[in-house]
Amino acid sequence: MAKLSMVGCLVVMGLLTGCATQSAPLEPKVDSQGQLLQELTRRVIGLEQEQNALKAQVATLAEYARLPTGVAVVPVTRAGAAASAVAAGGEFDAALNLYRAGDVAQAIALFEQFLNTTQLNDVRVPLAQYWLGDAYYTQRNFEMANRLLATSLKNNPNSDKAPMALAKLIESLRALGRTADAEALAQYGVQAIQ
């Protein structure tokens, strides 16, 4: 029993001694942790300031952001607008005017009607394919945009619309997850379609 109490005393003394030796080193640890906390707080404040500055820049840039075609798309229902426009200047011109006015849905309908009723050798066909592809691109219907823009480029690779058609075709392919095709098209240009 004396042996047990002696061991108990040693354990208690060891604990007391250990506690006594640990109390002194805790003060520097608390002090260094306080400094670390201050440093981290300063960094967080700095990051918040950077974030606010970036938000301000994004807000400024968003004021100047435009759709890829430069046309503001506002859904508008105009009963009979397409019919009266066709009577005034033909399907192609009416579709283009509606598209430029922001009535994309009516423009798509007229461009499709024009393409379905016009001979393929009409010089406006590749342009109608471009504008129809552009309209689908604006609506983020990248599958249809892809088909029509590629057809337009194949039928008229030297058109003044070819650079825009190529750029939108590349972006449509990327949006569809076809990055390898997009990269090949970006590298080889219209020749990749021919």
Structure confidence at residue 190 (pLDDT): 72
Q: Is the pLDDT of residue 121 over 70?
A: yes
Query: What's the rounded Cα separation, in Å, for the pair 173 and 175?
Result: 5
Structure confidence at residue 35 (pLDDT): 85
Distances from the Cα of 94 to the Cα of 68, 76, 114, 118, 194, angstroms: 21, 16, 10, 15, 31
Average pLDDT over all residues of the chain: 74
Structure confidence at residue 83 (pLDDT): 44
Q: Is the pLDDT of residue 109 over 80?
A: yes
Hey, what's the torsion of the CAs at 113, 120, 159, 68, to 10 degrees? 20
Confidence of residue 139 (pLDDT cuts 50, 70, 90): very high
Cβ pair 124, 161 in contact under 8 A? no
Structure confidence at residue 72 (pLDDT): 31
Residue among 150, 91, 97, 147 at smallest CA distance from 122: 91
| Other Cβ atoms closer than 10 A to 124 | 16
Reported as a single tens digit per residue, the pLDDT across 11-36 is 445 545 554 444 555 566 667 787 88
Helices 125-138 and 81-100, axial angle in degrees (round to 10): 80
Structure confidence at residue 118 (pLDDT): 82
Reported as a single tens digit per residue, the pLDDT across 47-93 is 888 888 777 766 655 544 433 333 333 333 333 444 444 443 478 88
- What's the pTM value of the predicted model, to 2 decimals? 0.53
Reported as a single tens digit per residue, the pLDDT across 34-52 is 788 888 888 888 888 888 8
Structure confidence at residue 88 (pLDDT): 36
